Amino acid sequence: MSGLPDKLRKRVSDVIRIVSEIFKARGSEYIELELRELENIFALIVMGSFIGLPSPPTTVSLRLLPHMGRELLIMSSVSRRLDDMLGEMAGMFDIT
């Protein structure tokens, strides 16, 4: 890039910076989505006995229960919008 005029060099560096920021933002969104899903799976494993799934011993579940307030709120909000899980995933990945 040393042979490029200063104005063009600045525009190229601006484009590279913008593309880099877009990739960072999208990567963070995917990590946040994965974290949400892992929290849902954790809550389902611990509280799975309520729906008939094999779960850890009751004593372990009871010890973890005070720390699962946020996960229980997440589970209840997810259960309200479970009618279109495919639509939610398509919206995350910009599939139209």
Q: What is the pLDDT of residues 81-96, one digit of tens each?
A: 666 667 767 776 766 5
Average pLDDT (4-11) is: 83
For 33-82, the pLDDT digits (tens) are 888 888 777 777 777 767 777 777 778 777 877 877 877 777 777 777 66
pLDDT for 18: 92
CB proximity list for 56: less than 8 A, separation 6 or greater: 45, 46
Task: Identify the band that residue 32 occupies on the pLDDT scale cut at 50, 70 and 90.
Answer: confident
Please answer whether residues 43 and 28 qualify as being in contact, where contact means their C-beta atoms are separated by less than 8 angstroms: no
Residue 10 has pLDDT above 60, yes or no: yes
pLDDT for 23: 84
pLDDT for 1: 52
Helices in the chain by DSSP H: which ranges? Answer: 6-46, 58-64, 69-80, 85-92
